[in-house]
């Protein structure tokens, strides 16, 4: 029977072949994009695994509580506790192999021109010290290895902007095994063991980490990208890509439904069973989808180099990380053809009723309000998780992905009922012949009317939810880039409850800063004498004010100003670290003199420039060389990682839109043509009775436009509602309405859809001639 069904599928002439090619192409494109999305999910995990080695010196919270007051743990004293401490670092040193400890110091956080830079110093204590991946051996004192991207920058940029930050010379490049991305900036420098042991934050490790510490005392340098957020987003994208393809396959299956129904009715009359008819009806689309699925793997292979360049996580992927698991491949190979078969079965379900029940003149029963249940259930599920966000990644994926998929399914299921309700409402308020015919036909068979716009409605829902979510995240995190004044500044020094960076800043350092082209001003933030009496773990430790001479504040507008006549101001740390300028803020006067504050230890240095990247990086180099145990901070650095991730999500949204909208447009065109073919005999009879062609064209236009506009409005509103509940539950953000550009694009898309409908109307003249009435 299957062989017979396949012979019928390919033996129907050029129209049948064209239909097969259309479904095959749609399936190939959809599967290729679906596989690319699944591979991106896997690549996030592979990327995170590549940099686990960077956690070799990370402290667990348990260890951080056992540190001595000077900031060094027991490991820095070279005690016998080193080997046992390796397991807390996510390592598992061998008990039978002699290992020479490796001194390890992580400089995190470091940046260059807004890009995160992983800088680790190491010092071997013997020939058996562990070697991080990607290195041929450990660098000796005065040597360092750099990632290819960083090595290129070191060679190309002026030395006083980058290379002079790193003592020693570049001796080689770090291999891909130690890098999260081709764009990663990583440096591993060699140091003298005694010198490195004396620096704060240095630790001894006995093996290289292969897992994250259970609980980090701060940010783990090798924590990587948040896999839960990316998995959730990419999973929703996968569903968003699959739904329009399945709908398109079902729509294309109905393209020549009239001919097939007559053929299947004849088979029923000669004894074919409903099961056999179902098999024959599904064979064509299943065959095309199966071939398209296989071609989709070819499309995926062609897309891999392109997908690797899209910075979903803020940086590009290595192409070898974009792989599929055996389970994923098998699920796609089996799932897509089965989904196509189910879509074909639903599209042609009337042919299995009886030899007479397949007639197009049989009016199906009206849809009931129960069709709203899946849509309301999906919204209710998302609403229930507001304030009840699951803790685990799998729990979040199951909660939100299920909700979004249920809403998409609910829009498809509820669409016919909404179409019927809108048609009946219009019918009660109109007297125009074309409008009456159109809405009466929609009320009689709303399923056929909605079927033509189902793909586009889903595309609008996906578009609205995606733009609303990305836009809201962008609005809440976009301030991380600072404002024009704060973007000109560089701060270097100790943070939080750390001890002061220096007793005093040498005049030579101040002279070097002032000699930097683009230098504008410098202010020294001194430690408050009362700061030492505060509880370092108390809630006000971070807010302890810093004392700054008013003569310094006068040089830097972005921090604020003193009260008239004051000599020293008490500025909270957030005044220096603010993302927004504090220019208008007047800080309280400190009860010390300018001479007294000059003798206090320096907590940090704040330098303003002309805003150029070259000036900022030159300042960073000067301060890094003078005070290597502290870090320079800029607002561009803080926001860079999240801003890059947002840029990647925007590109992901663009991929969804550029994929779903064309497929939905094709589905709309095919569905309208299929509807014309289904009803060519009734329209031909109307033309024979004197109905003008323009009247029939208006009928067709209204039949497609009414469900399109009504259900699209509901889909857009549902998209906003789903986005609002997701944002409130997952990120505690309130929905930010998209700007006029979004609504303009939606309006443009609806106009384009109406244009697609209008482009099919000339077919009406050709298919409703007298021969259609005679041969119907």
Residue 432: what pLDDT? Answer: 80
pTM: 0.70
Nearest CA to 264 among 22, 11, 8, 445? 8
Question: Rounded to whole angstroms, how far apart are CA atoms 417 and 450?
Answer: 9
Q: The tokens of 646 are what?
A: 């947002």
For 237-252, write each residue's pLDDT tens digit: 666 666 666 666 666 6
Residue 91: what pLDDT? Answer: 39
Q: Could you tell me which residues are beta bridge partners of residue 404?
A: none
Radius of gyration of the chain (CA): 34
Residue 393: what pLDDT? Answer: 64
Residue 609: what pLDDT? Answer: 93
Q: How many residues appear in the chain?
A: 776
Answer yes or no: is pLDDT of 674 > 70: no
Question: Rounded to whole angstroms, how far apart are CA atoms 276 and 291?
Answer: 22
Residue 150's pLDDT band (cuts 50, 70, 90): very high
Q: The tokens of 436 are what?
A: 């009456």
Residue 738: what pLDDT? Answer: 85
One-character DSSP codes across 720-755: HHHHHHHHHHHT--------HHHHHHHHHHHHHHHH
Nearest CA to 486 among 556, 439, 545, 555? 556
Please give the share of the chain, as a percent, with pLDDT higher than 90.
Answer: 28
**N- to C-terminal Cα separation, the chain:** 29
Question: Rounded to whole angstroms, how far apart are CA atoms 502 and 512?
Answer: 17
| Range in 102-106, 341-345, 481-485, 579-583 the model is least confident about | 481-485
| Range in 166-180, 395-409, 646-660 the model is least confident about | 646-660
Residue 384: what pLDDT? Answer: 92
Most confident of 263-267, 495-499, 665-669, 744-748: 744-748
Contact 545, 571 (CB under 8 A): yes
Higher pLDDT, 551 or 350: 551
> Residue range 588-606: average pLDDT?
91
For 197-251, write each residue's pLDDT tens digit: 998 889 999 999 887 665 554 455 555 555 555 555 666 666 666 666 666 666 6
Residue 621's pLDDT band (cuts 50, 70, 90): very high
> Residue range 342-357: average pLDDT?
59
Q: Could you tell me which residues are beta bridge partners of residue 634?
A: none
Residue 48: what pLDDT? Answer: 83
For 266-306, write each residue's pLDDT tens digit: 777 777 777 777 677 677 778 888 888 999 999 999 989 98
Q: The tokens of 328 are what?
A: 């994923």
Contact 213, 59 (CB under 8 A): yes
Residue 356: what pLDDT? Answer: 54
Contact 534, 540 (CB under 8 A): yes
Higher pLDDT, 360 or 415: 415
Residue 294: what pLDDT? Answer: 93
| Range in 38-42, 417-421, 596-600 the model is least confident about | 38-42
Q: How do strand 185-190 and strand 115-124 relate by DSSP bridges? A: parallel
Residue 424: what pLDDT? Answer: 85
For 700-750, write each residue's pLDDT tens digit: 888 878 888 888 899 899 999 999 999 888 888 899 888 887 888 788 878
Q: What is the 3-state secondary structure (H, E, C) of 373-404?
A: HHHHHHHHHHHHCCCCCCCCHHHHHHHHHHHH
Residues sharing a CB contact under 8 Å with residue 603, sequence separation 6 or more, in sequence order: 493, 494, 500, 501, 525, 526, 527, 546
Residues sharing a CB contact under 8 Å with residue 54, sequence separation 6 or more, in sequence order: 106, 118, 120, 209, 220, 221, 222
């Amino acid at each position: 029977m299957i062989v017979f069904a396949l012979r019928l599928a390919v033996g129907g002439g050029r129209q049948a072949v064209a239909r097969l090619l259309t479904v095959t192409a749609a399936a190939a494109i959809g599967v290729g994009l679906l596989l690319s999305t699944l591979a991106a999910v896997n690549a996030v995990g592979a990327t995170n695994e590549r940099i686990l080695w960077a956690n070799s010196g990370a402290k667990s919270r348990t260890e951080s509580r056992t540190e001595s007051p000077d900031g060094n743990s027991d490991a820095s004293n070279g005690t016998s506790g080193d080997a046992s401490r390796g397991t807390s670092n996510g390592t598992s040193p061998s008990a039978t192999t002699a290992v020479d400890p490796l001194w390890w110091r992580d400089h995190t956080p470091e940046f260059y021109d807004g890009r995160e830079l992983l800088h680790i110093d190491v010092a071997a204590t013997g020939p058996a010290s562990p070697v991080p991946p990607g290195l041929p051996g450990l660098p000796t004192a005065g040597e360092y290895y750099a990632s290819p991207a960083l090595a290129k920058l070191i060679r190309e940029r002026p030395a006083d902007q980058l290379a002079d930050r790193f003592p020693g010379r570049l001796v080689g490049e770090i291999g891909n095994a130690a890098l999260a991305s081709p764009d990663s900036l990583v440096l591993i420098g060699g140091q003298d063991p005694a010198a490195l042991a004396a620096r704060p934050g240095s630790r001894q490790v006995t093996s290289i980490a292969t897992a994250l510490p259970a609980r980090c005392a701060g940010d783990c340098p090798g924590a990587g990208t948040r896999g839960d957020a990316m998995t959730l987003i990419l999973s929703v994208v996968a569903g968003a890509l699959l739904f329009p393809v399945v709908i398109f396959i079902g729509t294309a299956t109905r393209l020549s439904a009239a001919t097939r129904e007559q053929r299947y009715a004849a088979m029923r009359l000669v004894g074919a069973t409903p099961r056999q008819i179902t098999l024959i009806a599904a064979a064509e689309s299943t065959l095309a989808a199966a071939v398209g699925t296989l071609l989709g793997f070819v499309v995926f292979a062609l897309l891999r180099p392109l997908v690797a360049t899209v910075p979903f996580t803020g940086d590009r992927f290595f192409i070898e990380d974009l792989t599929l698991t055996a389970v994923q491949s098998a699920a796609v190979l089996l799932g897509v053809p089965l989904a196509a078969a189910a879509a074909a079965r639903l599209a042609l379900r009337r042919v299995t009723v009886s030899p007479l029940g397949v007639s197009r003149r049989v009016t199906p029963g009206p849809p009931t309000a129960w069709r709203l249940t899946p849509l309301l259930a999906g919204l209710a599920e998302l609403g229930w998780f507001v304030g009840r966000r699951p803790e685990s990644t799998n729990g979040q994926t199951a909660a939100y992905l299920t909700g979004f998929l249920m809403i998409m399914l609910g829009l498809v299921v509820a669409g016919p009922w909404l179409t019927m309700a809108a048609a009946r409402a219009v019918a009660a308020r109109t007297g125009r012949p074309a409008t009456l015919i159109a809405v009466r036909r929609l009320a009689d068979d709303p399923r056929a009317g909605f079927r033509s716009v189902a793909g586009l409605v889903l595309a609008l829902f996906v578009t609205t939810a995606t733009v609303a979510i990305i836009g809201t995240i962008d609005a809440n995190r976009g301030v991380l880039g600072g404002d024009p004044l704060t973007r000109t500044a560089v701060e270097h020094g100790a943070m939080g409850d750390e001890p002061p960076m220096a007793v005093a800043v040498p005049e030579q350092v101040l002279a070097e800063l002032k000699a930097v082209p683009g230098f504008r001003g410098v202010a020294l933030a001194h430690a408050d004498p009362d700061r030492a009496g505060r509880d370092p773990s108390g809630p006000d430790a971070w807010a302890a004010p810093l004392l700054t001479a008013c003569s310094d504040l006068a040089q830097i507008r972005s921090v604020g100003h003193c009260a008239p006549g004051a000599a020293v101001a008490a500025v909270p740390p957030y005044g220096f670290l603010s993302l927004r300028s504090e220019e208008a803020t007047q800080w309280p006067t400190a009860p010390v003199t300018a001479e007294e504050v000059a003798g206090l230890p320096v907590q940090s240095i704040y330098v303003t420039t002309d805003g150029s990247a070259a000036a900022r990086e030159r300042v960073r180099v000067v301060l890094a060389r003078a005070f290597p145990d502290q870090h320079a901070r800029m607002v561009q650095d803080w926001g860079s990682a999240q801003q890059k991730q947002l840029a990647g999500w925007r590109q992901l949204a663009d991929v969804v839109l550029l994929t779903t909208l064309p497929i939905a447009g094709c589905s709309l065109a095919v569905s309208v043509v299929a509807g014309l073919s289904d009803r060519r005999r009734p329209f031909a009879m109307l033309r024979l009775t004197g109905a003008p062609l323009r009247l029939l064209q208006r009928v067709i236009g209204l039949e497609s436009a009414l469900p399109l506009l009504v259900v699209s409005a509901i889909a857009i509103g549902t998209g906003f509602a789903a986005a609002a509940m997701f944002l409130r539950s997952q990120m505690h953000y309130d929905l930010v309405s998209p700007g006029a550009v979004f609504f303009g694009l939606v309006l443009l898309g609806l106009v384009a859809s109406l244009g697609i409908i209008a482009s099919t109307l000339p077919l009406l003249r050709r298919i409703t001639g007298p021969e259609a009435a005679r041969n119907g």
